[in-house]
Structure formats: C-alpha cells, structure tokens
Structure 1
Amino acid sequence: MTTALNGTDTVTAQRPAHRDGNVLRWLAAYTSSMVGDTVYYVALSWAAVQTGSPSQAGMVMAASAVPRTLLMLVGGVIADRFGPRKVVIGSDAVRCAAVLAVAALLFVTSLGLWPLAVLAVVFGTVDAVFMPAVGALPPRITSRGQLTRVQGMRGLAIRFGYVVGAPLGGLGAAMGGAAAAFGLAGLLIAVSIPLLISVRIRELPPDDAVGTRRTAWRDLRDGLDYIRRHRVLAPLTLAIALGDLGFVGPLNVGVTLLADERGWGALGMGWVVAGFGVGAGAASLLLAVRGRLPHAGHVVAYTVLAGSMAIGALARVPDVVAAVGVALLIGLLAGLSGALCNALSQTQADPAHLGRVTSVTGTVSLGIAPLTMPLFAATAGAWGTGTVFVVSAAVCGLGGVVALCVPALRRAELPR
C-alpha cells in the first residue's frame, strides 16, 4: 500500500539520505535489481554462445536494444501516468517472471536461440518502462536537497552491481549452467519487489498529475514541449546527448581497438576499463558523502570539457599504465558530470513530468548512443583510431560548450 510522505513523514524526508530508512530500502531494492540484471546478461550471453554461432549470439544480445530504444519515450508517459513506484514494481515482477520461466524451461529441456531472443525482447521492452520510472522515483522518496547524495548512492549501487553480478553470473553458469544463472538472476530481481513495496513515496497534488482523460500521444507531446520551453532542461538535455554521443564509442569500442593496436592485450584492456570504473566509483562516493556541490552548472560544464580533452588524450598515451591513469580521470569526470546532470534534471523538472524528462535523455544515452559504436569502429578502420578519438572528444566537448554558453544552465544550482 502506498503511503504519502506528509506530516511526520516530511521530517523523515529531510534526514540525510544515507540515514533515511526509506531511502535505504529503495537503495537495497535498486542494488538487488542491478545485481540481478548483470547476472541475467551473463546468463543470456553464455546461453546464446552455447546454443548458436558467435554472430547469432551477438544478435540475441542486441535484440533488447531495439524495443528499449523505440519504446522508452512511451515508457516515460507510463511512469508519469501510473506513478514511478508502481511501474518499477510491475516491471521487476515481469522481468522476474520471464527470467524464471526461461530458467525452468532450461532445467527440463534444451532451448534454441528463439526463446532466448524472445526473452531479450521482453527484457528490452520492460526496460523501456523501467528506466524512466527509476529516474523519476528519487524525488518522491527524499527531499530535493538530498537528490545529489542519492545520485551518488545510486552510482555506487550500479558499480556494485557490475563488480558483484558478473562473477555471480559466471559462478552460477559454471556450477549449474545457464539455467542456474537465470534462476539466480530471477531470485535477485524478486528480492527487490517486497523492498519496493515497503518504500513510502510522496504523492503528487491532484493538479500536477498527468491527465487520465488525455491520450498517451498528447501526454508525450506535452512532455516534449515542457522540455523544449524549459530554460534549464532544454540545454541540459542537449548537453547530456552530446556528451553521451561522444563518450560511448571511445569507452566501449575505442579501448578495445587501442589495446589491439598498441599490443596491450586483453589484460591491458581490462585494466583500462577497470580504471574508468574506479574513477566513476570515486565520483559516486564523493557525492554520496558530500551530498551537494556548489555551482553545479559550472561544474557540469568544466567536467564535461575536461573529460572530452581526456578522451582525446587517451589515444595519445605511450603505454598501458598511462592509459589506466587517463581512464581513471575520465571515469571521475564523467561520473561527476553524469550524477550532477541527473540531479539537476530531478530538481529542475516538475515531478509530474520527470518520467518523460528521464525517457528523453535515456533514449539518447541507452538507445541512440550505443548505435554509434559500429560507426565508430568503421570510421576508425578508415581514418585511424586516433582521429576518431579526437572527433568523439570534440562532440563530447560540445556538451560542455552548451553548458557554458547558456546562462540559465551555467548558473544552475542544486538545492541545499
């Protein structure tokens, strides 16, 4: 049963997020779900490789990206219409049921690629609803002044999910095959559901709710118009999009190409990726502990610009040790700018529109930007890896230029 945060609950909402039991229950649910997600992707990739060819396995792994990209804007409308908490609980329930169903089938029979592809499509479709709802939930469970700290805590949960989930998935697959790994993923996602049910949320005033008599298309148009007219959200959304478009290629494809060209090997590539993860984790820890950084708009602009220069420098480093150091710096700067951008979005947006605001940035970050990875690889083959790193750095740097050149964004502050 949903409980509104009012009266004595408002006092609770003003507590530091890391001491607020309500936020900690949400964090535990989110962490369990993130670990389960990572275990699921390990299980899916292992099952696909064991069942089909490498190219077929790649198609299965990519199958979830299509519905996630096409439907995320609709997912934002759903999150705003029905409330992010209900949508997150429902999404986790569907994901849990789908994963456990595949696990049960694998225990009794061997599956071909088609059931795995269907599972990937279902997961991607649910993700299109889940991700905007997750982004819209923090302002409903804590005060505005704690949202930066919550973003830091969320970043730590994501890093924890990657670090713990991948070995757990591998262990499950090694001991019991893909069926055991899928079963473990489903159980971890299931743990998040009762925790989310126990989370109290702040209900919106009736006048702020998305109109139930309007069509979903009208609600989507209103959300896009709301972003376009907003003095801070419009340039912030553009800055986020440019930053992600310039960042995804170098991190996901460029590091592999550099490791191959420079003779660093798989181990060297792993150290570089780990350097990025450590830097991003340090940024999340800083925000979780500090809770707020002054001059947020300026910090976003300068960290994006500095991060873009570091991306360009990564292609010029002489050895793997230097590459790890630069990757750590990129992770730190990207972690700070990303968390602050999310915090600014959540504090600037009307909570009634936050699902749609999150869906727009998510469509670029999680849908369109990954599609540039094949283009990055092809361009690197034609023009050289170093040249494409510089181009990507320039695109990323444009996001910082936007943040600096738009006064409303440059002067934006986070609430105390």
Structure 2
Amino acid sequence: MPAERGAFPLGGHYRHRDVNVLRWLGAYTASMVGDSVYFMALAWEAARSGSPAQAGLVLALGSVPRAVLMLGGGVLADRFGPRRVVIGSDAVRCAVILGTAAALLLTSPSLGLLITVALVFGTVDALFLPAVGALPPRIAGPAQLARLQGLRGLAARVAHVTGAPLGGLVVALGGSAAAFAAAGALFAASLALLFAVRIAPLPADGAEAVRGTARRELADGLRHIRHHRVLAPVILVIAIGELGFVGPLNIGLTLLAQQRGWGAAGMGWIVAAFGAGAAAASLLIAVRGRLERAGLVQCLALLAGAVPVGALAFVPNAALAIVAGVLIGLFAGLGGALGAALVQTHSAPACLGRVTSVQMLFALGLAPLCHPVVGVAIDAWGTRPVFAVSAGVCAAGALAGLCVRDLRRAELPH
C-alpha cells in the first residue's frame, strides 16, 4: 500500500502531548460532541413532528444501517486507508446535517425528512466508526496506544457530559434548525483538524493488503480474528461484556429509577457517576500509558464490574446506587480501554479496519438490540432477576477470557 500524504515513520517515541496526537484528539472530541448535539436535535424534532412511537422509530432507524453496514465499513477502511474514509465520511456528515438545518429553516419539518436524515447518518456512521477506530496505530507508536485509548475515553466522556446540555441549550435558544447547524459546525471543525493529522504508512510486514471482492476481504479479516490466539478471545470478552453492561445501564436503569421512586434526577446522578468512574479509568490509563498483564487486568476488571451491576437492583437507596454507578464505570472503562488497546496492538496492520469493525459491531450494532429483551424481562420478572442475570453474563465473559492462557498473558508493547 503506498504511503498516504503527510505520512511519517512509526519509529520513535510519541507522547500524549505530541501536536499530531492533539489534532486527532481535538477532531475526535469535536465529532463526538457533534454526535451528541445531532441526536438531541433529531430526538427533539422527531418528538415535535410525530407521536412518541414515531419519534422512537426515527431514532431506532438510524441504528439499522450502522449494524448492517459496519463490517463493510471496516473493509473500506483497510482498502482505501482510514484517513481517507474518515475524512470522506465526516465531510458527508457535515454536509447532510448542515443541509438538514437549511431545510428546517426553509420548509416545515416532516417525519419523512427526519427518517431520511437518520438513515443517511447511520449509513455514513457505519463507514466513519471503523475508520476512526483504526487511526490511533497510524498516528503513534505501539507503546503509546494504551495512552491514546485513555485519552479517547476521556474525550468520549467530555462529549457525553457537554454534548447533550449544549444541544438542549441551542434548541431552547434557536430551535432544532440551530441545533443541527451547531452539530454541522462541530463536524466541520473536526474535518479541518483531520486534514492536518499526519498518518504513518503501514509497516513493511503489513503493507500487502488483500485485494479482491469485498466479501473475500471481509472473510480474510474474520479469518484473521478467528485464528489469532489473542484477538479472538479479547473480542469475545468485549462482546459478552457489552451484552451484560448495556441493557441494565440503559433501559434497565430507567425502569429501576421509576420503580424505586428515584426520579429522573436520581437516574441522572447515577449516569453521571458512571461517567465519572469511566473518566477516572481513562485518566489512569492516559497517565500511566501501560499496565502490566493487560489481558489479565481486562478480564479481572470485567469480573469486578459484574458485582456492582448485580448490586444496583438490590441497593436500598439512590446514594448507594450512585456508588455502584461509579464502580461500574471504573471497571467498565478500565476493561474497555485495555481491550481496545489489545485489539489494536495485536491486529495485523492491513486488517485493522476490519477487526475494529467487528469489535464495534458488537458494541454499537448488536448490543443495543438487547434493550427490548431487557424491557420485556423486567416487565415479566422485575428488576432484580434481570440485573442478576446481566451480572452473570458479565462474569461469564470474564471467566471465558481467564480460561484462555494467551489472553491472560497478553501484554501491551513497552
């Protein structure tokens, strides 16, 4: 594969203060905040334009192309390079959202317009997410990948804390059109920073990317995961962990807060506590840069996180639920960052986009499908059995990883 424009060698030591890393971090943060503002604007306008069921349909439709096309996005990232795919998809997102803002100013909003925007945005996200996940190994050396994952986790938490309130403020001051315009401006800022990010070429031993049909390239990427002694178990642990964490911490927490009388404020504090715990884990990794026996620590963190997941439905008051939220965020953030760093350091460079797409498919495509299952189960059996089962799923994923010697001994580069 030819070196991409602006490439530099992977050799040498790169610190988290490296200006190129800071450009990438700024671009990622602006994009994540833009995502939060966009979803706030979309949800608000959908609720204004239709019934609650129709609003839910608009939001759900955006996840369908993301789940269906995510693996294809990984193939494109490997074939054309993650930088090209990230810049191209970010440019399309910017144009679509700014176009939506203009349309809302000039015409009356309709569900058809919002559904189209949700489907297009979800489709572009399926290209953007694997490519942006494959960028870190091309902007820093292997020894810095854990630190970059910590910084990426911090950026995500900042975006979650600031994005929704910013979107709500802009909607209150200028309406949905202004919020879409603000999201488009953030995507434009992200795009400008991405143009300035320098990307390293693939190393010589990973430059021979497979060429053929998209199906063949995808099959080669899946085969690479299946036969790898670390990648296969670490992605399995990530997938099972997502299934155990996502349901209780989304629809499950909402129903639990309603049943216990904690209200929206109590639920908000628990979610904030989870974010604080996850941010603390990301900060730890960003500062340390590396933890010994990363594979073992990833599994132990998931196992430890299973305890507060199960306890959340049994605590007697909101204060203890907030403590449980902090612990869940801390352990989930630690295990997630280490798992992502292991995926990036053990993947063949030419397959990283496809490997990342598989990892993100479970987190952003398949795991959210458990939401209706969790809702039905809580309606049938109550919160305690469902949270206990979810904790058991988390623990099962951790124990499955601990049974694999190669994962227990997996290390991050020095």
Same fold (TM over 0.5): yes
| TM-score normalised to structure 1 length | 0.97
Paired with 1:345 and 1:284, the residues of 2 have a C-alpha distance of 17
Q: Look up the match of 2:88.
A: 90
Q: Is the 8 A contact 2:246 2:367 kept in 1?
A: yes
Q: Is the 8 A contact 1:80 1:210 kept in 2?
A: no
Paired with 1:361 and 1:140, the residues of 2 have a C-alpha distance of 18
How far residue 86 of structure 1 moved from its aligned partner, in angstroms, is 0.8
How far residue 213 of structure 1 moved from its aligned partner, in angstroms, is 4.0
Paired with 1:278 and 1:212, the residues of 2 have a C-alpha distance of 42
Q: Which among 386, 397, 402 is matched to residue 404 of structure 1?
A: 402
Q: Look up the match of 2:70.
A: 72
SS in 1 for 2:198: coil
What are structure 2's unaligned runs of at least 5 residues?
none
Q: Is the 8 A contact 1:76 1:358 kept in 2?
A: yes
Q: Is the 8 A contact 2:32 2:156 kept in 1?
A: yes
How far residue 237 of structure 1 moved from its aligned partner, in angstroms, is 1.1
Per-residue CA distance 1:129-182 (angstroms, 9 max, x = gap): 111111110000000000011001001111111111112111111111100000
Q: Which among 3, 22, 28 is matched to residue 6 of structure 2?
A: 3
Could you list the runs of 4 or more consecutive aligned residues of structure 1 that deviate by over 6 angstroms after TM superposition?
none
Q: Look up the match of 2:51.
A: 53
Paired with 1:212 and 1:194, the residues of 2 have a C-alpha distance of 31
Paired with 1:371 and 1:213, the residues of 2 have a C-alpha distance of 33
| 1:20-59 matched pairs, under 5 angstroms | 20-59=18-57
Per-residue CA distance 1:236-295 (angstroms, 9 max, x = gap): 111111100111110001111111111111111111111101101111111111111111
| TM-score normalised to structure 2 length | 0.97
Q: Look up the match of 1:142.
A: 140
How far residue 205 of structure 1 moved from its aligned partner, in angstroms, is 4.5
How far residue 209 of structure 1 moved from its aligned partner, in angstroms, is 4.0
SS in 2 for 1:19: coil
Q: Which among 186, 198, 207 is matched to residue 200 of structure 1?
A: 198
| 1:318-357 matched pairs, under 5 angstroms | 318-357=316-355
How far residue 15 of structure 1 moved from its aligned partner, in angstroms, is 2.4
Paired with 1:147 and 1:208, the residues of 2 have a C-alpha distance of 18
How far residue 232 of structure 1 moved from its aligned partner, in angstroms, is 0.3
Paired with 2:317 and 2:308, the residues of 1 have a C-alpha distance of 15
Q: Call closer, same or farther: CA 1:210–1:15 in 2, change over 3 Å.
A: closer
Structure 2 letter corresponding to 1:232 = V
| 1:136-215 matched pairs, under 5 angstroms | 136-205=134-203, 208-209=206-207, 211=209, 213-215=211-213
How far residue 212 of structure 1 moved from its aligned partner, in angstroms, is 6.5
How far residue 381 of structure 1 moved from its aligned partner, in angstroms, is 1.1
Q: Is the 8 A contact 1:210 1:219 kept in 2?
A: no
How far residue 107 of structure 1 moved from its aligned partner, in angstroms, is 1.0
Q: Call closer, same or farther: CA 1:213–1:341 in 2, change over 3 Å.
A: closer
Are 1:106 and 2:109 matched, yes or no? no
Paired with 2:381 and 2:102, the residues of 1 have a C-alpha distance of 49
| 1:300-311 matched pairs, under 5 angstroms | 300-311=298-309
Same amino acid, percent of matched pairs: 60
Structure 2 letter corresponding to 1:4 = A
| 1:281-296 matched pairs, under 5 angstroms | 281-296=279-294
Q: Is the 8 A contact 2:209 2:351 kept in 1?
A: no
Q: Look up the match of 1:279.
A: 277
What are structure 1's unaligned runs of at least 5 residues?
none
| 1:177-256 matched pairs, under 5 angstroms | 177-205=175-203, 208-209=206-207, 211=209, 213-256=211-254
Per-residue CA distance 1:388-408 (angstroms, 9 max, x = gap): 111111111111112210000
Structure 1 letter corresponding to 2:5 = T
Q: Look up the match of 2:122.
A: 124
How far residue 208 of structure 1 moved from its aligned partner, in angstroms, is 3.0
